[in-house]
Amino acid sequence: MISEGENIKVSVRNLSMIFGDRPREALRHLEEGLTKDEIFEGTGQIVGVYNASFDVAEGEIFVLMGLSGSGKSTLLRCINRLFEPSAGEVAIDGENVLEMTPQRLREVRRTKLGMVFQNFALLPHRTIIENVAYGLEVRGVPKGERLAKAAEVLRLVGLEGHEESFPPQLSGGMQQRVGLARGLASDPDILLMDEAFSALDPLIRREMQDELLDLQDKVNKTIIFVSHDLDEALHIGDRIALMKDGAIIQIGTGEEILTSPADEYVAKFVAGVNMAKVLTAEGVMKRADPVIFADSTPEAALKRMRKRKKSFAFVTSRKEEFLGIIREEEARGAAEIGERIEDVLVLDAPAVSPETPVTELISLVAGSPHPLPVVNDHKILVGMINHVALLDALTPGVAENGVA
């Protein structure tokens, strides 16, 4: 879900795309409940996208995910009107793309939108720097200026030194970097990436995914990325829209889709995913318990531990800032000699952030005598991670209550 206050770059509302000469008839049949296949058999009309709605925030990587024929690439092409939608609305920075004049549409495509294709689409007779500068050349940018900009983005994607090479001289991964550089050369606000890495070998594809994330940290573009690879979508996407038969079935973060699938189709789609690679502390943590304030007495801490049947307690300030952990034996000793809670705190208790991957939590939990406190950027205690939390997340239904 987009947080309040975030700037919406792309807004899609009730978008439908029908291929054929009777789109209204097909839309009426869809509203009546007919399937995509039934409509094709009865009318010859092909349902590309049906009633899709979503928003993409500035700086977000939003993945359109689905199997072949799900409508994800068609939907992407409706955003920049390479395909003319049959119904609905697409807005970029609040301006309806479908109402733009041809001149205004060309201007928006040149200045706000960049596109990266699956097949690289490089011009083999032009050098790498000329390929990257091609879009700027079409816009009429002077040669010196466009080549300087092309050289800058080539450095950004790690291809400095290959400016005068030709596309056939580069590997597939390097050619894809050229395609990405060309998309960035015009400095667009929004990058549309259609199966950009799917033609690459698995190892190179993973490297390109990591490079895209590194690049995003530098340029902070709004990216709409089409993929059929669930692992890829989970790896790079801030949010994912899962599509089937032209319709969006579920939108959410990777964790939300894995842990709360919208229906049986989504559940089957994500079955078999290694949850540890996707989940974070925030997604698996339990409510921190027991918790006691630092200005309470050791006797109060012992009473809270006995009530919760625990041998420890998290200690916070009155503002819920995490200060440390007090253990039963130290609390008992402090009560006997009149010491304060802050005198016997375990101050070096390992705390983790909500973004910590589960893969890192496993060894930390295994080596800790007490649950791990989860502390946010403001030092507020927001939860805890114990064996139960991890087992619940990784093997739902297996964990039993009472495990510390």
Render 93-106 in DSSP notation, one character per residue: TTEEGGG--HHHHH
Strands 381-385 and 372-375: antiparallel
Going by the DSSP 8-state scheme, the letter that residue 111 receives in this structure is: H
Identity of the amino acid at 314: F
Does residue 392 sit in helix, strand or coil?
Answer: helix
Residues of the chain with CATH 3.10.580.10: 282-394
Non-local (6+) Cβ contacts of 267 within 8 A are 261
* CA 4/CA 153 separation, integer angstroms: 33
Q: Taking the model in full, what pTM does it have?
A: 0.77
| 18-56 CB burial, b ≥16 within 10 A, e <16 | bebeebeebbebbeeebebeebbeebebbbbbbbbebbb
**CATH class of the domain defined by 282-394:** alpha beta
Q: Does domain 8-112+188-273 have CATH number 3.40.50.300?
A: yes
Residues of the chain with CATH 3.40.50.300: 8-112+188-273
Task: Encode the chain (404 residues) as per-residue pLDDT tens digits.
Answer: 666 667 999 999 999 999 999 999 999 999 999 999 999 999 999 999 999 999 999 999 999 999 988 999 999 999 999 999 999 999 999 999 999 999 999 999 988 998 888 777 788 899 999 999 988 888 888 999 999 999 999 988 888 899 999 999 998 888 888 988 888 888 899 999 998 888 788 888 888 888 889 889 988 999 999 999 998 999 899 999 999 999 999 999 988 898 889 999 999 988 878 777 778 888 888 999 999 999 999 999 999 999 999 999 999 999 999 999 999 998 999 999 888 888 887 766 688 999 898 888 888 888 888 899 999 999 999 999 988 778 777 765 444 443 34
Non-local (6+) Cβ contacts of 209 within 8 A are 197, 232, 235, 236
Distances (CA, A) of 128 to 1, 43, 116, 147, 169: 39, 47, 15, 11, 10
